[in-house]
Structure formats: C-alpha cells, structure tokens
Amino acid sequence: MKAIILAAGMGSRIRPLTDNCPKALLRIDGKTILEMMLSHIRDCGIKDVVFVLGYLQEQIKDYVSVNFSDLNTQFITNEKFKETNTGFSLMLAMEAIEDENFVKFDADVVFDKEILKKLIECEHENCLCIDKNINLDAEEIKVIIDNQNRVVKASKTVNPKDAMGESIGIEKISAETANILLAELKIMMEDKQNHQEYYEAAYERLIEANVPFNTLDITGLRWTEIDTKEDFATAEKIFNNKS
C-alpha cells in the first residue's frame, strides 16, 4: 500500500501564517502537520509516499528529505496549482503510482494515528473516514449513505440535513478502483471547467457507475482540518498534549 499526500495548495485562507510557509509545515504543539502525518504513516507500515506539491514546494521537499529519509518518497509538481484543485492533483499522483492500493491524505489534516490504523484494517476496499459528531456547513464535504453503509453522495453541495457526517479527507482506495478512478479523472480534466473540482467529484462519478465506496466511522477520535486561523487555534487546543 502507498500513501498519497496532496500538498499543492497555497493556504490562502490562513494567511498570513502561510505567507512564507506551506500549510503542511505549520506547527501544532511543536510538531509540523506533516511530521505528525508522516510519523503515523510510517508507524502503520506504509513506506512509499507520493507527494503532489506546488506552493513553496522546495520547503516541503527539503523537510521530508532531512526528517524522513527512511521513507521512499516521490515528489510530483502540480505546475497549475494556482488554477486547479484537488481533483487535478490527485490525477497527477495516480499517474505515478499506477494500479496499486493507496491511502490518500489532504496535507492539512491533523489526526490520531488510530484513525489510519482502523482505516488500513477496515474490511472495505474503498473507504472514506467519516465523523458523525460534527456541525455541518457549506465548507464541509458532507456524506449521504444508504442502509448498507455505502456512500451515495459526498460533496460540499449536499444538504446538511440529509448528511450523516463529514468526510475528513483521508480515504483508502483499492488497486482495482485506482485504475477506474484515474481514467475518470483524466476524462474530467480534459475539460478546463473541471480544473477547480475536488477529487470527491470523481468519487461520485464512480459511485453513480456502481463502484462501491463505504465509510469508516471515526467519531470520537481526534482530528481537524486546518483551513482558517480559527481551525489552527482549534488544532492547537485539541492536540496540546501538555493539557
């Protein structure tokens, strides 16, 4: 199994913290977001990590090379990071890993290692980590499931009243689905109007074609996505191990 980390974004909503530092290298309780993520990945037995980079990418390359030299890392540049979104970045990553199982991470998620451990051990081949105990608004990727725990929809446009929770930005995808997903992303990205789409749009296309995506309930475990300065302050409270 490989890991994909999407870290091309500029972190514009958390400026000025990201004026001279990529968001993944911001520090929470003395550790960078990326240090916590890569430590969990390594501790869970994953050795191969593919990064998609863009904004201030040399800082991330240098950091990983110095601090995680034991991992097999591959760095891919999204040259269009200013005008594309996570769907385009995921396509670039998947072209590098070909048909292998992988876990995909948004580089701005801070989380307990237990979440990754449970995801890897989960029986489902394609699985989204879902938190049910969360206030849903326009910014969250909201998830609707059926009575068999399969994902029906996963997007920001889902009505919060219809959703069972939020997708936290960490998913496991099987090798078989990886082939189909890459093909779908390539079709999508041929149209420049889709360059701002999130990768969940591709998941939804596969779901409509009856490719099963299940959920892993991680409610109660610690995690947070860092988009804003308020999120950053929340992360510092949640992951302050001195308290």
Give the tens place of pLDDT for each residue, 207-237: 889 899 998 999 999 999 898 888 898 899 8
- Confidence at residue 243, expressed as pLDDT on a 0 to 100 scale: 42
State the Cα–Cα distance between residues 143 and 213, nearest whole angstrom.
Answer: 11
- Confidence at residue 99, expressed as pLDDT on a 0 to 100 scale: 73
Quick check: 97 pLDDT over 60?
A: yes
Indicate if the alpha-carbon torsion angle 143, 127, 146, 202 is positive or negative.
Answer: positive
* CB half-sphere exposure, 238, CA atoms < 13 A: 17
State the Cα–Cα distance between residues 174 and 238, nearest whole angstrom.
Answer: 31
**What is the mean pLDDT of the segment spanning 16-36?**
92
**What is the mean pLDDT of the segment spanning 6-35?**
91
| 100: nearest Cα among 180, 176, 184 | 176
**What is the mean pLDDT of the segment spanning 62-87?**
94
- Which pLDDT band holds residue 135 (cuts at 50, 70, 90)? low
**What is the mean pLDDT of the segment spanning 108-112?**
94
Residue type at 31? K
| 49: nearest Cα among 38, 33, 62, 65 | 38
Q: What is the DSSP letter of 193?
A: G
Quick check: 22 pLDDT over 50?
A: yes
Give the orientation angle of helix 200-208 with respect to helix 86-97, to 10 degrees.
70
CATH topology of domain 2-223: Spore Coat Polysaccharide Biosynthesis Protein SpsA; Chain A (3.90.550)
Quote the pTM value. Answer: 0.92
Give the tens place of pLDDT for each residue, 136-170: 565 677 788 787 778 887 777 887 777 778 888 89
Quick check: 8 pLDDT over 90?
A: yes
- Confidence at residue 13, expressed as pLDDT on a 0 to 100 scale: 86
